[in-house]
Each structure stands twice: as C-alpha cells, then as structure tokens.
Structure 1
Amino acid sequence: MIIQPAKINLTHLQTECQNPLSSNLDVLTTLEIVQLMNKEDVGVVSSVSNCVNDIAAAADDIYPRIASDGRLFYVGAGSSGRLGVLDAAEIPPTFSASPSQFVGIISGGDRAIRITQEGAEDDVESAIADLKHYNLSPLDTVIGIASSGRTPYVLSALNFAKTFGCLTVGICCVSPSAMQECDFIDHLVAPVTGPEVVTGSTRLKAGTATKMVLNMLSTTIMVKLGKTYGNLMVDLKPSNLKLKERSKKIFRTICGTKFYILSENGGTRKIYVPNSDEDNASQIVGQHIASCENDLKLAIIVGKTGLNLEESKRLLHNSLNRLGLALGSHRTNFFGPRDRSNDEQSDNESIFSTNSDDSDDSLSSSIISTANSENCSLVLVVDGGGSKTAVVIKCSSGIEVQCETGSSNIASCGVDGMIDAVGAAIRLAVSKLPPFITVMNPKSLQIFDSVWIGIAGISSTKYEKVLDRFEEFLGLPRNKIRLTGDSSLLAAVLSYKPEYEAGISLVSGTGSGAVAYKYYDNQYECLGRAGGWGSYLGDEGSGYYIGMQAIKDTIAYLDRKKLGRVLTSSTVPKKGKLVELSKFQKKLIRYMGNDGGDEDMFLTDMIEFMSSNDIDNSTRKAKIADVTRIVFEAAFSEPRDDKAYAIAQNAASVLVKNNVLPFTEEGLIDPGQSLLIFAGSLLCNGPFQDLVLAALDREGIHFKGIEVVEHPAQVAAKGLLCEL
C-alpha cells in the first residue's frame, strides 16, 4: 500500500506566496533587479543558520552508516532533484569516494536533469520502483529534497526507505509542511526562505538554501571520515592538471622541504629541496606522488615517516584511512625505534633503507599494544525487537556506543533477514568506536570479550542454526556468545540487585510477553515464560494488540454509521442520532488510510493493507503497533477521549492477566520478595504504567520493587561487565 500525501493548499506555503518587495519586478532596471535578488539572497544565510543543529544531528547519524559502507541516496524532483544529483556527483572526485556509495535519483530519470519531465514529481509508484533497484539496507540513508515539503515522489521514496530501516532525512524550505507530519522521517532540515523574487520559483532562494544544507551535510560527513588533514583536501585523486598542481602544493605544505621518497631498492631515502628551487621541487614531488600510486595520502605518509609503500599502506589502513591518526601514531613511536641517524642532514640527500624485519610483525604488535593499552574489557549486546534493533557496545573503561536500526524479529524477518539486520546494526555500532579499540582491523568483530544477543521470536528449533550463523559472523567461539529471546536481556538487572530473590521482566512494545528469573553464582535460571507467542497467537496488551483493537473498533463504528446506527455499548446496538467520529478515530483513519482520511474507503484500504503482498509482515505489524501512539495521545491528554482510554485500560488488564498472573498463581515467584521489571515502549509510558499498576492492584499482586528499563541493551551490557 502506498501512502499518499494529504492534499495541501499551496497558497499556504511560503514559497508560493507573492513577495511584496518584487511586485514591480518587471519595471525595474537591470541593476535594480540584480540588487534586489542579492538583497533577498542575504536572508538565505540566516535561514540556514537557524537549522545548524538539525544539520549537525543528521550528519552525526549519517556518518557511521557511510563509515560502515552504507550508501547515501539523494531523492528529489525538478530543481531539488538536480541539486541532489549534483552533490552526489561532486563527492567522489572531491574526496575519492566510491560513486556507488553516493547516488542521486531524480523523478523522471536522468533525462529530467536536462529536460523537465511533466508529472514525474507526482508519480509515487516510480519513487518506489527507482529505489527497489538498489536493494536498500538499514545502513543506507535516503535524503528527500522538496522545497515545498510535500512532493509526492519524495514522500513516497522516504516512506518506502523507512520500511527497510534506512535513516531518512527531509529537506524543505517551508514550515509547517507535510514533511513535519511524516513519522517516517528521522531528521528534518527546514530553512524557511520565504517568498521568492519570482513567485514560486524555488530554484532561487530555496535552491540556494538547499545547496548550502547539502554542502554542509556531505562536507561534514567527509571530514569526519578523515578525508581532510586540517582543511587540506588530502583524499583527492590528481586526475587533471589543476588537481595535480593542488596535490603537489598540499604535499609541500605538509612535508616541507625535507622529506622521504621511494628508492629503487624498495626502501626510502630522504631528500632536501629548497623552496627557491620551485621547478625542481614540483617535478620531484609529482614523480613521488605518481610512484605512490597517485595516492596523495600514501605519498605524504612515505614523505613524513620514511616507511616504504607497503608499510605506509598498512599504517593508513590500520589508522582508519585517517592521515592525522596515521601521522600521529608514527610520531608517538607506535612502530618502535628506527635508525634516523641521517635525518639531521639538511642540504644534502641522505639514503635511508627500511629494515625488512621491521614490517609485518612489529607493525601488528605495536598496533595491538596500542589497542590494548586501555586494558578494557569489551562487551556487545543486541536487542532485536519487532520495531527496532538496538546495539550497545560497552567498555570497562567507561566508553559506550549505541545505535538503532530496523526490525530484526525472527518471526517476521526470517533467519536470513534477522542476521542481515543484526549484522548491519553491529557494524554500525563498531564504526562508532574510538580508533584505539578498532585500529588493528577496523572491519574485525573479534574484539569482544562477551556477546549477548537477544532476538524477539527466537525458538528452540531455530536456536542452533542462528547460533551457528552468529558464531561465523562474529568470528568468536561459542563460549563468548549468549543467544536468548529479547526479553531475557532484562534479567541482567538481577546481577547487580541482590536484594531480590527473583524477578519478572514484563515487556510491552510491538509485542508482549514475560519471563521470570532467578540469579545466583553468576548464573541466570529461567523459571518460566508467559505470553510472547506473536501477533497471531497472542501479544495481548502490546502495541499491536492496541492498534488492532483501535482499528477494529473504528471499522465497527463505521459499519454502524452506514446502517444509520451507533453503538452505545459493546453489545447492544441502538437506533439514534448519528454522532461524529472521535478525534482519535479520524486521526487513525488518516494514518492508516490511502485517501487522506476518506471514511468510506477506510475498510477497503485496510483489507488491501492486510492482504497486500507488497508489504512484508514486519512492516505491517510495526505500522499497526504505531497506532498506539494515536490512542495514547487521545487517552492521556485533556479532554480525555473515552474510547481511546477504554482501549488502553483493557490492554493493561489483559497484559497483567496473561503475562503476570500465571507466575503468581502457580507459585513460581513470591511478589513480595521479587522485582517487576517494566520494559518496552508502552511500559515506558507513565500513564500506561499507572493503568498496569492499577490492574495489578485489582488482582491483589504487590511486588517488592518495580524498575522501569528504557534501554534493555544497556542493562545487559552492564550485567555482562559485572560477570567478567
């Protein structure tokens, strides 16, 4: 099912309003027109300045994905699309990036770059088709560019990308906008540029602002990737005369007049080229860069360190391809003592040949000792749920990194889909680690002392197969990998709360379930499970349960409305005066429906949504669960929506009855000596917590303590470190 944008009155968009300062544009002199446009452009800078925090936040999220070989897609229509294509085209030659990693997509195809393709911006189907070709993954980022904030092609592309767990960024030049209403956009950058000099011509101020935002995003990401040394463009490829001269200038700026070049015997020799001999210096530096495979970074490392070409390659690789880190590690003598007796000679050439015994072994051992210099234990935890996959890497020295990607519920993703999703999330988290931890091999996952992977939907029949796959993926022995259901991660709380003899982890997010545990002698004993059987067989009291109840109630109401009746109770229909749908029901119809809130089409829309082969199960389940957000907003705000409140209250009751009562009634735990752990997005909501506590009270169940855990992976990581 394709979500269409709601209809918007274009006259409310700032970019479509008439600019009073240019109302007499056609009678101005040439100079006056230019002066007016220049004056209007000055305001663009301040509009972008208002968005610097949003731009920085987006760049911080995009960077680790690019570092983990994720791709950056620019999607737009018309002028906006051309600006995206331009940025994507300029990054590879400027920063030696792979063209396949930065992709510009414009509605209507590449022909639209030169000739406008009428109607292409409204084609929501082609947006999906254009992205399908690239097999999106959670490591990818999609930037949707639409000056108006409502271009159907762009919104369709962003919505489609989000179903794969991609990071999504929207860029528009109006506020409010349709983009602001889209829950599938992670970051929104909206420099409001106001009315154009020529009404509606967004290639002007809006286009300038968009280009500035794209410049900031892509340049910031490249700098964070180590593509510069200071402000010098050290990752360029000298492919033409201008770039060759620039490369020479950068080399001389960094290396000065005394530097090493490669010698014929495979070593290096140091030379001195005074600034006064510019022609000779230019020729020597040019030849040196060419001998270093036309790689300016390698040429600089050889020139500054005296390492041979292969050593320089390893140093650069082990320094995450960052020139500053590579030169810094060499200055701190990570490579052991070297004979530099000839280095002090200044005006004469001196010969320095590298010692072949001082290459592989010494290089590896020095880097290893650097990585281990912190003497820290490193643990990895994965919390794979129905709506997201959270990863935490924690070091005993206090360093911690986190990241989130899309769903990895094995029941809806399958084993292969789950492995792909979790693998992408782990690599994304590893890319955020400081260099001294991963410097030996930035791609290696054999750096962890203990790993705990909690996956929703894991079953005994799939356990061995999944464990085999993770053992292979991580390159770690089984005794370092713990594989459980996601709710089991919460048991780690007991490892540092010895005052409780047992605990129940009660989870209500996209799904629901509970597990009871005891903890002693660094061991967890599972006492039993309740619920957690998935959306078809259970998940009572979950986000999916609430979403389905709200949808069913709305459909039942619409049925009665068509018959000229409304329900005054859950069982007794009564003829009477029709009443309007409640606000939350109207919002639900707009959110789930295809036609912007058409009541008559809602049932048809829902049948299509539930049966469509174009929507995978995890996406369908997540969207239904997200209806809970609409229900809670109506139930827990003033004035309270009674229909929404009744749905929430019922969910709290069935959550307790199906997931807590079985443990207490069977005598598996004593609530008075046990800890109840709340987790999942619903149980982190204060008003819903109150409803659950009230339901427990009605059942006469009172726990010794209650703890709310918003981030189970963090708790599990803390527990793993306690065990080491």
Structure 2
Amino acid sequence: MPLPPDRSHVPTEHAHVDSASLDRMTTLDVVSLMAEEGRVAAAALDRIAVDLAAFVDALVPRLEAGGRLVYLGAGTSGRLGVLDASECPPTFQSEPGQIVGLIAGGDAALRRSSEQREDERMDAVDQLERIGLVPADTVLGITAGGTTPWPLGGIEHARIVGCTTGLLCCAPVDGSIDVDHLLCLDSGPEILTGSTRLKSGTATKLALNTITTAAFVRLGKVHGNRMVDIRATNDKLHDRAIRVLRSYDEELTRREADSLLARCDGELKTAIVVLRTAQDPDAARASITRSGGFLADIIGE
C-alpha cells in the first residue's frame, strides 16, 4: 500500500496547546474548553465577512437566473451541506432543487460513515453529472483541511463545465487550488486532535447558515426579520404563520388569521398581501410575482 500524502502541515491536524491534558480534565473543564472553542469558530467567521458577502453577491443573481447552489463535501462537511440544503425549502419556501447537497458515498453516507469514499475524485464528478450540472450553477466545495480529494475533484469538474466555484475550508490552502471564491475559516487546531467535526464543523455550519440566509434575504424571502415565505404544513409552521400574520394587524384574532391562511392555501406571504391590500388571493399572488417577492414593494413597509 502506498504512503498517503503527508498532511502534517494542515493546522486542523495539529495538537491544541490548551488540550494536552484532555484525558485528565474534569468534565467541567472539558465543557468550558469546548465553549471557548465555539467562540473561536464564531470569530473565524467574522474574519471572512467580506469574502462571504462577495460570494453571496455573486450567487444571488445566478439563483435569480435559475441556477443552483451545489454543496460538495465528504463526512461531516458533506452532512452539513446536505443539512443546510434540506432546511431551505421549509424556511424560505425555496424550490427543493435550488440548493443541493452532495456527499461522498451518496445518501447512505449520511447515516453510515464512508471515509474511504472521500479519496475518490471521480465519484464527485459522477454525482455532478447525475444532477445535470450546467454553467449557471454555483458549486461550493467544503473541506475542513482544504485537501480532501472528493470536493476538490468536483470543483475541478465544475470549472470545466463553466460554473462559478468556491471552496469553504478551515485551514489555509496553497495556491494550486483554482476557485473563484476562497472562503478560509482559519479556526485552528481541534481540542481532540484532527477531529474536524468539532470546531471546524461549527465554523462551517455558521458559514453555511450565513450564505443561505443572506442569499434568501436578498431574494425577497424575508420581510423585516420575519420568515414570510413559509407554508403552514404542520402545527409548528401553522402556529408561526398565524403569529406572523397577526403581527401585521394587532386586532386580528388567531381564528381570523387561521381563516385567512386557509383562504390562501396556507401561503403566509399571500395572506399578508390580502390582509394589507384587500386583494383576493389570486391578485395578491400576481402582485407578489410582479414585485419579485419583495413584500416591502407591495405593502409599503
């Protein structure tokens, strides 16, 4: 068996100076150190705010034009991408295929670890071909150490296709990786050496939260700080939709709000426009389409 590449230079593989006695720490000391490392992850996000904003600003018009955001990752990185993609439809009523999460080893790897698949660059290419990757798409590779072959192979293929590309990592990478947007969360060593599901995973989740939230704000899926593009498909969302709708008219009762939502097929944004403009639901939907989804352009707030 050939020797693997030497990754001793990658900061996520280094030993953390504050956790050298981790096996002898009290439970409280371990918990406190983990909490401190969570703050380090948040600080790493803050340091790349400008780069993240630039990525979102490049992404939004591509989504508006019908392109997709495709996450590529292995292990924890892949699971986080799939998680973020899965949460966009219920949060923003986005099309299920607009944000796509792909993981090395396929969906089976979401539950059963498939570490050996992360070295298979062509598997990423195969998955991208299966979803019909096109130049309008944006591909973001996710790899804590910045060296995982699977997402890097996918990025290389995406560049050949003509996609906009990005790399989200938690350690500095060398200049040989050719991407349009390098998002480097330099979060440092893990308290459990090499376990990038910890601080690196936290920083990555924060970054993905930021990317999709900022993008969908820019796409008109939010009014003020309210989720307005939700559909009342379960009790939690039903209750939330009622409460949000009532925030636009304090005199509206829960029963009246519920009745209005029913008239609008559970579509909160449609119900808000009906409430504030007295249009019927079909006219409200037409107004929403004309405004590009931005409620402020319809109800003047």
TM-score by length of 2: 0.96
Residue 611 of structure 1 corresponds to none
The structure with more radius of gyration:
1
Residue 59 of structure 1 corresponds to 56
1:232 counterpart letter in structure 2: R
Residue 14 of structure 1 corresponds to 11
Query: 2: distance between equivalents of 1:64 and 1:97?
Result: 15
Assess if the C-alpha contact under 8 Å between 1:255 and 1:300 holds in 2. no
Deviation string 1:80-120 (CA, Å, 9 cap, x unpaired) is: 00000000000111100111111110001111111111310
Query: 2: distance between equivalents of 1:31 and 1:305?
Result: 56
Deviation string 1:634-658 (CA, Å, 9 cap, x unpaired) is: xxxxxxxxxxxxxxxxxxxxxxxxx
Query: 1: distance between equivalents of 2:67 and 2:117?
Result: 27
Residue 173 of structure 1 corresponds to 170
Residue 36 of structure 1 corresponds to 33
2:77 counterpart letter in structure 1: S
1:181 counterpart letter in structure 2: S
Query: 2: distance between equivalents of 1:17 and 1:285?
Result: 56
Residue 218 of structure 2 corresponds to 224
1:209 pairs with one of 200, 203, 207: 203
Query: 2: distance between equivalents of 1:81 and 1:319?
Result: 35
Please show how residues 116-195 of structure 1 align to structure 2 within 5 Å: 116-175=113-172, 177-178=173-174, 180-183=175-178, 185-195=179-189
Query: 2: distance between equivalents of 1:142 and 1:154?
Result: 10
Please show how residues 103-502 of structure 1 align to structure 2 within 5 Å: 103-175=100-172, 177-178=173-174, 180-183=175-178, 185-257=179-251, 273=252, 281-328=253-300
Query: 1:42: how far off?
Result: 1.5
Assess if the C-alpha contact under 8 Å between 2:291 and 2:298 holds in 1. yes
Structure 2: unaligned runs, 5 residues or longer: none
1:213 counterpart letter in structure 2: A
Assess if the C-alpha contact under 8 Å between 1:81 and 1:145 holds in 2. yes
Relative to structure 1, the CA distance from residue 118 to residue 42 in structure 2 (aligned partners, 3 Å threshold; closer, same or farther) is closer
Relative to structure 1, the CA distance from residue 223 to residue 129 in structure 2 (aligned partners, 3 Å threshold; closer, same or farther) is same
Query: 2: distance between equivalents of 1:26 and 1:73?
Result: 39
Structure 1: unaligned runs, 5 residues or longer: 1-6, 258-272, 274-280, 332-724
Query: 2: distance between equivalents of 1:256 and 1:304?
Result: 12
The answer to whether the aligner puts 1:69 opposite 2:63 as a matched pair is: no
Deviation string 1:137-167 (CA, Å, 9 cap, x unpaired) is: 2211111000010110111000101112111
| CA RMSD of superposed structures (Å) | 1.3
Q: Tell me the secondary structure at the aligned position of residue 227 of structure 2.
A: coil
1:231 counterpart letter in structure 2: N
Query: 2: distance between equivalents of 1:222 and 1:313?
Result: 19
Higher RCO structure, 1 or 2 (CA under 8 Å, sep 6+): 2
2:198 counterpart letter in structure 1: L
Q: Tell me the secondary structure at the aligned position of residue 174 of structure 1.
A: coil
Query: 1: distance between equivalents of 2:115 and 2:41?
Result: 29
Q: Tell me the secondary structure at the aligned position of residue 187 of structure 2.
A: coil
Query: 1:310: how far off?
Result: 2.1
Query: 1: distance between equivalents of 2:55 and 2:22?
Result: 38
Q: Tell me the secondary structure at the aligned position of residue 119 of structure 1.
A: helix
Query: 1:256: how far off?
Result: 3.3
Corresponding residue pairs, total: 298
Deviation string 1:232-260 (CA, Å, 9 cap, x unpaired) is: 00001111111111111111112332xxx
Query: 1: distance between equivalents of 2:176 and 2:108?
Result: 31
Q: Tell me the secondary structure at the aligned position of residue 182 of structure 2.
A: strand
Q: Tell me the secondary structure at the aligned position of residue 245 of structure 1.
A: helix
TM-score by length of 1: 0.40
Deviation string 1:256-291 (CA, Å, 9 cap, x unpaired) is: 32xxxxxxxxxxxxxxx4xxxxxxx11111111111
User: After the TM superposition, which segments of 4 or more aligned residues of structure 1 sit over 4 Å from their partners?
Assistant: none
Query: 1:213: how far off?
Result: 0.5
Q: Tell me the secondary structure at the aligned position of residue 163 of structure 1.
A: helix
Assess if the C-alpha contact under 8 Å between 2:246 and 2:254 holds in 1. no
Query: 1:40: how far off?
Result: 2.0
Query: 2: distance between equivalents of 1:8 and 1:46?
Result: 30
Query: 2: distance between equivalents of 1:118 and 1:66?
Result: 32
Assess if the C-alpha contact under 8 Å between 2:72 and 2:154 holds in 1. yes
2:197 counterpart letter in structure 1: R
Query: 2: distance between equivalents of 1:236 and 1:243?
Result: 7
Query: 1: distance between equivalents of 2:44 and 2:28?
Result: 25
Query: 1:8: how far off?
Result: 5.2
Q: Tell me the secondary structure at the aligned position of residue 188 of structure 1.
A: strand
Query: 1:24: how far off?
Result: 0.6
What percent of counterpart residues are identical? Answer: 40
Query: 2: distance between equivalents of 1:254 and 1:143?
Result: 38
Query: 2: distance between equivalents of 1:94 and 1:45?
Result: 23
Assess if the C-alpha contact under 8 Å between 2:263 and 2:281 holds in 1. no
Q: Larger strand proportion, structure 1 or 2?
A: 1
Please show how residues 93-108 of structure 1 align to structure 2 within 5 Å: 93-108=90-105
Deviation string 1:527-584 (CA, Å, 9 cap, x unpaired) is: xxxxxxxxxxxxxxxxxxxxxxxxxxxxxxxxxxxxxxxxxxxxxxxxxxxxxxxxxx
2:270 counterpart letter in structure 1: L
2:24 pairs with one of 23, 27, 37: 27
2:71 counterpart letter in structure 1: Y
Assess if the C-alpha contact under 8 Å between 1:14 and 1:195 holds in 2. yes
2:214 counterpart letter in structure 1: T
Assess if the C-alpha contact under 8 Å between 2:135 and 2:163 holds in 1. yes
